[in-house]
Amino acid sequence: MDAKWLGALPIDGIREIQEVRGGDVNQTYRLKGDNKDYFLLVQAQRNEAFFASEIAGLHAFEASGIRAPKVIASGTIENDAYLVLEYLEEGQGSQKELGKLVARLHKQHSANGQFGFHLPHHGAAISFDNQWTSSWSELFVERRLDGLRDALVTKGRWTPKEVKQYEAVRHHILTKLAEHKCEASLLHGDLWSGNFMFLADASPALFDPSPFYGDREFDIGITTVFGGFNQEFYDAYQAAYPLESGWQERIKYYRLYLLMVHLDKFGTTYALSVERELADILADK
């Protein structure tokens, strides 16, 4: 990150830049200024549209009273997309409050009653269109899961054997989702433990969204894959916005989705986890 690049940012008074841990998708930095600090995300060799969905999600969170970093600026410098956010100071807090916050997020429903989002999701490895639909199964199974299946076959990570198993699971998921009536809730879209924090005042905050409107059990399923959410979180969520009967089975579909994303992105390290999730879903038949 050279001085010329930094000088092109629409922010004055930057004294120091410090590279920080911020996930595996973007280059991330803390910008130390005269009066305040900022969080900078950079996606090399992409235009500013790369961050459009995330920005829209952060604005939607803010409008819904969900604590998240405020958007300061975005654009493209020397063919690199950037996003500057409010820098949030980390503290410690209660997962009970986090559960309440996620429940409040999910109580926000799409104005048109449909599933999707007005912007596509751009990921490092795979993208999804998010076009509006009245069918949750269409958005989740036909566009997301099937898209991942095709990507895994194209990359040689699935053989006909895995595809056959997937097709059996797919049929099962479609059958079960046809019986499940859900509202189109505002979702974080990537709600793992690396995408929430507690602030200096102990309040919880969410960041790095991949937003769309969908079945709220999608977010809950994602929380169970890598840990970081304790029973206090789930109890508080259930008290604030109880899940429908059968949710314990259905969140497995969303666990499968996230594991397929990781198999597509990181390779065979996740092959066994995907295989186990497929088998677990079939065991529910």
The residues annotated as belonging to the active site are 190
Are 27 and 45 contacting, i.e. CB atoms less than 8 angstroms apart?
no
206 secondary structure, DSSP code: E
Which two structure tokens, joined as six digits, stand for 174?
């479609």
Torsion from C-alpha of 110, 111, 114, 118, nearest 10 degrees: -80
Cα 200 from Cα 1, distance rounded (Å): 29
C-alpha distances (whole Å) from 14 to each of 27, 53, 236, 265 are: 18, 27, 41, 35
Residues sharing a CB contact under 8 Å with residue 154, sequence separation 6 or more, in sequence order:
none
Are 258 and 222 contacting, i.e. CB atoms less than 8 angstroms apart?
yes
Phi, psi for residue 12 in degrees, rounded to 5: -100, 155
CA angle 272/277/281 to nearest 5° reads 150
CA angle 277/281/284 to nearest 5° reads 145
